[in-house]
């Protein structure tokens, strides 16, 4: 625990990455403060409904270290749900219909090609079976079912995770400005608006898209990509079970059967951080292509936008700074924050606390010679 204003670690950012890092540190008996310029979940982690989908990309490849990542991610969901009265997630599987012949061919090969562990993870269904089981789909070329897919109300999850960590003794400073200076003895002094300064030897940057404003990390090849979602409310309950991923995602929680969230657009080089009509039209077009019967029965819509951080090799980045002692980063979670954040937080804390080497696939070291 902390003595006065000294903490073993200060985590910057209270999105899914920062909260998982704080949790991992706390579990190992470390004193932790978390600072967020905004509210927890004020960044990309506040997307309305999100998927934890281990089958990624157009070919349904298995996500990096998917087995461990899903197990850890699910254990956090369970831990938070146990303390929360509103059900906010479900392992309801993700359906991936193939809407073109090419996608159908790729999907049918995916279970073997990407060495998926078993049918508990991925199952190919031919055109006949898919259309029999899911008559609301348009003409397909078959499809995949990913039983280990989760749908999460991320807003509730982040809010409850934050409250749980606060109760466990992690100190949060939110909606505040702050400045950091480094003393000669390697201690960081962090002056937080309206509060006494706090001291630490270890600062972890988990600031999501805020990373692009921080000079120390400008050697990392990151790109901020804006995305928008559209939440649809229907008068009647939808007769769906799984969420769907097909050129965008259609997130559905059986607990809220009148609601569907369509995500998302990919906007590189965006010029504003608001929602807009062009994105809404694109998302409705995705709806029309994948669930054509629904367009006419929408009662109400809500739009949301956020910015995710992506990397050129589509792999996240964790680890130390190449030159400055005492600072580390967790970033580049792209569109897989839900699946990877807990595993990445664990690997980063294993490195900081036990000196364990970080898997090169995700280590910040891969950019040290650039």
Ligand X SMILES: Cc1cc2nc3c(=O)[nH]c(=O)nc-3n(C[C@H](O)[C@H](O)[C@H](O)COP(=O)(O)OP(=O)(O)OC[C@H]3O[C@@H](n4cnc5c(N)ncnc54)[C@H](O)[C@@H]3O)c2cc1C
Q: Which residues bind ligand X (CB under 6 A)?
A: 12-18, 35-38, 42-45, 47, 50-52, 206-210, 227, 229, 249, 263-264, 306-308, 333-339
Which has the closest alpha carbon to 349: 4, 13, 3, 19?
19
Nearer to ligand X, 131 or 267 (CB): 267
Cβ of residue 16: shortest distance to ligand X, in angstroms?
A: 5
Q: Which residues pair with 228 in a beta bridge?
A: 305
Nearer to ligand X, 206 or 347 (CB): 206
Give the separation between CA 278 and CA 275, rounded to whole angstroms: 9
Cβ of residue 81: shortest distance to ligand X, in angstroms?
A: 17
Cβ of residue 265: shortest distance to ligand X, in angstroms?
A: 7
What tokens were used for 347?
């690997």
Residue spans of alpha helices (H) in 28-168? 66-81, 101-113, 127-133, 154-167
Give the separation between CA 128 and CA 112, rounded to whole angstroms: 21
| Alpha-carbon distances, residue 298 vs 61, 139, 275, 301 (angstroms) | 33, 22, 19, 8
| Alpha-carbon distances, residue 274 vs 3, 44, 233, 287 (angstroms) | 42, 13, 21, 21
Cβ of residue 131: shortest distance to ligand X, in angstroms?
A: 26
Q: Give the end-to-end CA distance of the chain in Å, rounded to a whole number.
A: 39
The greatest distance separating any two alpha carbons of the chain, rounded to the nearest whole angstrom, comes to 70
Cβ of residue 332: shortest distance to ligand X, in angstroms?
A: 8
Cβ of residue 296: shortest distance to ligand X, in angstroms?
A: 25
Nearer to ligand X, 176 or 298 (CB): 176
Nearer to ligand X, 69 or 110 (CB): 69
Q: Which residues pair with 95 in a beta bridge?
A: 145, 244
Nearer to ligand X, 103 or 225 (CB): 225
Nearer to ligand X, 131 or 158 (CB): 158
Nearer to ligand X, 142 or 333 (CB): 333
Cβ of residue 140: shortest distance to ligand X, in angstroms?
A: 22
CA angle at 210 for the pair 150 and 312, rounded to the nearest 5° = 65
What tokens were used for 166?
């606060």
Give the separation between CA 35 and CA 10, rounded to whole angstroms: 7
- What radius of gyration, in Å, describes the C-alpha atoms of the chain? 21
Nearer to ligand X, 104 or 306 (CB): 306
Cβ of residue 152: shortest distance to ligand X, in angstroms?
A: 8
Burial of 221 (0-12, 13-18, 19+ CB in 10 A): middle
């Amino acid at each position: 625990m902390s003595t006065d204003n000294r903490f073993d670690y200060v985590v910057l950012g209270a999105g899914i990455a920062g909260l998982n890092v704080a949790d991992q540190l706390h579990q190992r008996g470390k004193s932790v403060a978390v600072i967020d310029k905004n509210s927890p979940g004020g960044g990309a982690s506040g997307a309305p409904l999100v998927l934890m989908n281990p089958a990624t990309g157009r070919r349904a490849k298995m996500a990096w270290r998917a087995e461990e990542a899903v197990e850890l991610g699910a254990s956090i969901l369970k831990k938070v749900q146990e303390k929360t009265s509103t059900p906010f997630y479900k392992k309801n599987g993700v359906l991936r219909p193939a809407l073109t012949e090419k996608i159908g061919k790729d999907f049918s090969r995916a279970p073997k090609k990407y060495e998926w562990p078993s049918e508990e993870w991925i199952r190919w269904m031919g055109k006949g079976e898919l259309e029999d089981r899911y008559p609301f789909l348009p003409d397909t070329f078959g499809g995949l079912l990913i039983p280990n897919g989760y749908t999460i109300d991320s807003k509730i999850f982040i809010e409850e995770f934050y409250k749980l960590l606060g109760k466990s003794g992690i100190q949060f400073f939110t909606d505040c400005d702050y400045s950091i200076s480094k003393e000669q003895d390697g201690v960081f002094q962090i002056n937080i608006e309206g509060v006494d300064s706090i001291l630490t030897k270890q600062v972890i940057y988990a600031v999501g898209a805020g990373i692009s404003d921080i000079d120390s990390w400008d050697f990392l090849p990151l790109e901020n990509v804006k995305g928008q979602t559209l939440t649809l409310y229907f008068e009647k309950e939808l007769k769906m079970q799984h969420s769907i991923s097909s050129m965008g995602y259609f997130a559905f929680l059986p607990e809220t059967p009148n609601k569907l969230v369509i995500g998302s657009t990919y906007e590189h080089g965006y010029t504003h951080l608001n929602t807009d009509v062009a994105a809404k039209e694109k998302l409705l077009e995705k709806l029309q292509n994948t669930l054509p019967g629904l367009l006419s029965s929408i009662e109400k819509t809500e739009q949301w936008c956020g910015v995710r951080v992506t990397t050129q090799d589509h792999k996240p980045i964790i680890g130390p700074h190449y030159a400055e002692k005492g600072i580390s980063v967790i970033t580049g979670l792209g569109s897989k924050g839900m699946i990877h954040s807990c595993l990445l937080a664990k690997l980063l804390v294993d490195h900081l606390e036990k000196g364990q080497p970080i898997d090169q696939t995700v280590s910040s070291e891969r950019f040290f010679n650039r």
